[in-house]
Amino acid sequence: MIELASAAFTYGGGDILTDLNLSLPPGSFHFLTGPSGSGKTTLLRLCYMELLPTKGRVRVFKNDVAAMDRDQVALTRRRIGVVHQDCKFLDHLSVAENIALPLGVSGQNVTAQASNLIELLAWVGLEHHADALPQQLSGGERQRAALARAVIMSPDVIIADEPTGNIDWEMAIRLMQLLVELNRMGKTILIATHDLNLIRNVKAKTSARVLRLHNRHLQLAGADL
């Protein structure tokens, strides 16, 4: 699905990430850990093509990102669902309208997808908040809405950047359960998090692998996690 080969990223004359080698096969589940400022978000941005490597190569669905034009990148991004750390919404639109935005952007008939949208809202436990405004949701509800928006296009890969960073443990577990369900459906999952307890909880139920960024390099974490 996504491959990095000797990839590096430099900003402002300094190396942020160097010599990254990573393969995310179909149906895999990976956590990405590392201290604040280690480059986790930068690595995720390379994976969903918001950044290009300054060295090495990134391939997404077997295509070299550096050789893709803007239209190819836009089409390929439809196969990747991203849950951003800040999970921004348009505050004047309802929760359901925010979740459905990717459909409209891609030119699909939102009305024709109404039944799928209702089903998705129920799946994330927000069926009773469809007409609410984003600012009326709790932190956990906002994160679940962000996940619903990320998967509305039925992507092959879901990338989440610290999706549980601002919610309580119960809501974090609920969100992880949704991601585990997606993985069992065959989706490839990559989650950046610093919460080792959360990783241990998920690893007990899945074959998730744990990657660690350290000194700008990517390592496979040990089994002691």
Please tell me whether residues 57 and 163 are part of one structural domain: yes
Predicted confidence band at 150 (pLDDT cuts at 50, 70, 90)?
A: very high
- Count: domains in the chain: 2
* Residue 207, SS3 per DSSP: coil
What integer pLDDT is reported at residue 205 of this predicted model? 83
Q: C-alpha angle with apex 84: 191 to 58, nearest 5 degrees? A: 65
- Token code pair at residue 192: 């950046």
- Give the domain-ending residue among 154, 169, 199: 154
- Token code pair at residue 161: 């950047």
What integer pLDDT is reported at residue 127 of this predicted model? 93
Going from the C-alpha of 70 to that of each of 6, 65, 77, 93, the distances in angstroms are: 24, 10, 11, 28
Domain with 4 in it? 1-79+159-225
pLDDT value at 81 more than 60: yes
What integer pLDDT is reported at residue 222 of this predicted model? 58
Please tell me whether residues 149 and 163 are part of one structural domain: no
Please tell me whether residues 40 and 104 are part of one structural domain: no
Separation of alpha carbons 213 and 218, rounded Å: 5
pLDDT value at 107 more than 90: no
Predicted confidence band at 162 (pLDDT cuts at 50, 70, 90)?
A: very high
Mean local confidence (pLDDT), 84-111:
89
